[in-house]
Amino acid sequence: MNITFLGTGTSQGVPVIGCTCEVCLSSNRRDKRLRCAALIQDGPSNILIDGGPDIRYQLLRAGVTHLEALLLTHEHYDHTGGLDDLRPLIFIKNEPLPIYLQRDVSEIIKLKYDYAFGEQKYPGAPRFELIEIQADTSFHIGSSYVKPLRVIHGELSILGYQINNKLAYITDANQLPESTLKNIQGVEVLVINALHHRPHHSHFTLDQTLEVIKQVSPKSTYIIHMSHYMGLYEDVQAKLPQNVYLAYDQLKLDLMV
């Protein structure tokens, strides 16, 4: 089992269009961040977490030729804007792509991609199988054990995911309920967001994320969903505690199951 970070940036990506800050002008590839998405490879199964507007390029870059399922965390554009670009992988398998998501997100996806759900579907439209799930109710995708986690994102109640009790993936959080903190206590690998250093209404700051890490005590942590205001990769990484890392695009971690 492994995870590939397809994208580790926030909704604008890094570099930001028109920005001339030192991060956006950096030549270090670890300072260049597409919108957040991750690929879990567990045996023969490929499981995608989120599919934002960069997903076509992200999957091409990762050499992905098939998908077994998509896990959506929430409905925001930077996490769902690229679903139509999954069509070629759907056509290859010639069967609908299972998408696991909350009921309210399901309704929004049906509106955004109405041409894929009507009685008279647009020719060549993607085929999606929307599977409604809820926090703390586990399920299997192939041999992978998946537990949805409740996550608070401003005024939204969204999902994170725990895979095979080894990996916890949390994005766009500014609060974790006690049930989620309990579920992920001592997890092997924690992936969690930190936007930058200033208070934000719907995202953890870096200091807030470091406090969560202390509570959870994972073996290792990888930080995602970072804006250009976080600072240069090399400068920030040098100040982080032991076993806490800034994730970066195309980083791949092997996890023992």
Specify burial of residue 166 (Cβ count, 10 A radius: 0-12, 13-18, 19+): middle
Q: Read off the tokens for 249.
A: 């695009």
Consecutive H or E run containing 48: strand 45-49
CA-nearest of 231, 171, 169, 156 to 198 is 231
Which pLDDT tens digit goes with each residue over 32-65? 999 999 999 999 999 999 999 999 999 999 999 9
The amino acid occupying position 154 is G
What does the pLDDT average to over 1-25? 98
Q: Read off the tokens for 254.
A: 């092997």
DSSP string, 212-250: HHHHH--SEEEEE-B-GGG--HHHHHTTSPTTEEE--TT
Domains and CATH numbers, the chain: 2-252 (3.60.15.10)
Question: How many beta carbons lie within 10 A of that of residue 92, not counting itself?
Answer: 11
Q: What is the pTM of this model?
A: 0.97
**pLDDT bucket at 257, cuts 50 / 70 / 90:** low
CA-nearest of 104, 210, 199 to 158 is 104
Contact call for residues 74 and 46 (beta carbons, < 8 A): no
* Token pair 């999954």: residue: 86
What does the pLDDT average to over 156-167? 97
**pLDDT bucket at 109, cuts 50 / 70 / 90:** very high
- Residues 243, 42: Cα–Cα separation, whole Å: 24
Rounded (10°) CA dihedral 19, 20, 22, 27 = 90
Consecutive H or E run containing 97: strand 97-101
What does the pLDDT average to over 185-189? 98
Pairing of strands 69-71, 139-141: unpaired
